[in-house]
Amino acid sequence: MARSSYYLLALLLLCIASLLWFSSSLKASVPSLTLAYGTCPCPHDTDSTPSSPVLEQSSPREGITLISPLPSPSPLPSPSPSPSPSPSKPTQAYYLPVKPYHELVRSHFPSKLWQKAGPHGIDENSQNNIKSWQKHNPNLRHEVFTDGSADQYVRDQYAKFPDILDTYQDLQVPILRADFLRQLILYADGGVWSDLDVTCHKPIESWIPPQFRNRANVVVGLEFDGSQFASWTVMAKPKTSHIAAAIEYIMDTLEDEAEKANTIISGLTMKTISDVVDVTGPQAMTRAILRSVSAELGEPVGWPNISNLHEPVLLHDVLVLPNAAFAAMQGGWPTDRGPYLVEHHYAGSWKNDHGGEDVPSSPIEQDHLQEKPGRPA
């Protein structure tokens, strides 16, 4: 009888253990969802991914917002107990792709002269200036744009950059469009841009002193007062970071000008912009290039580095020539600042309310063009 009681107790304990095991099995079988950091339970929809996302980055160049493409999406890493180090930020970023310095310095400046005629075409003075370029540079390729061919060039070259194309096409003031055009050409193809009212006095191949020939990617000359680079003549290799910076600077400035005038870019006029020189002209180009050089060198570069030059100076890969090179007539033909390379005659066809040839300049606006000092014999 006692032995039977033990059997019954053992059977009861077995039943209780079985019930406990069955209960725990039910709890384990309940589905659960656990999300690790950085994962997503939904499938990726590749069709909804933007084709060309961009990321705004703060730039060391004051006043310029630079934009660079985001990298292609990559698989998310598995959670790690130790945080991975933050990637180092690039020192320079551009919306437009640029060639690296070491690649550019091994290349040559394109032997190509770019110019543009206004609605009135090419007059006798401009023809003589063109002949001076051909005389000193017999192997130079040469192209003179009309309004129509310039517009087509920008459409062809910047079809993949609709914001640049739209900005160019929206500009209604001829001088603003012409200023922007020269930067777009120098970035896309490089070579020499020169206004039609410029005479060439020396071969282009002699512009760069021998010690700088394998180090310069952009060549600019100072205006007579040394406060800015002349924009009537500029030489560059294609896809340089400094010309890309000038394009971005001009676009940002045009947006700012439109906002201040409570209008859009197509609504800008000569009366609503602050100053052509500052918005798209030589001052804009100078600021952009100096800030670009400063960013790449990691140290301030500004007007103290270019003022009162008596000989060429190389700022990183930008060769700055004394004012005698491109602005000798402005400076009274100085004799201690190097050779006279080109001569600017200041036709000033844009200095009117229209900002271009279609409306002739008033006598008052032409006063400063008269009685310019002649070139010494």
Residue 224 is predicted with a pLDDT of 83
Topology of domain 110-369, per CATH?
Spore Coat Polysaccharide Biosynthesis Protein SpsA; Chain A (3.90.550)
Residue 351 is predicted with a pLDDT of 57
Per-domain residue ranges of the chain: 110-369
Residue 375 is predicted with a pLDDT of 43
How many residues are present in the chain?
377
Residue 18 is predicted with a pLDDT of 67
Q: Which parts of the chain sit beneath pLDDT 70?
A: 1-7, 9-11, 15, 17-94, 347-377
Residue 334 is predicted with a pLDDT of 86
Is the full-model pTM beyond 0.85? no
Residue 122 is predicted with a pLDDT of 94
Residue 358 is predicted with a pLDDT of 59
Residue 37 is predicted with a pLDDT of 31
Residue 23 is predicted with a pLDDT of 59
Strands in 109-179 per DSSP E: 112-116, 141-145
Residue 3 is predicted with a pLDDT of 53
Question: Is-contact 295 285, C-beta < 8 A?
Answer: no
CA–CA separation, 203 and 140 (whole Å): 10
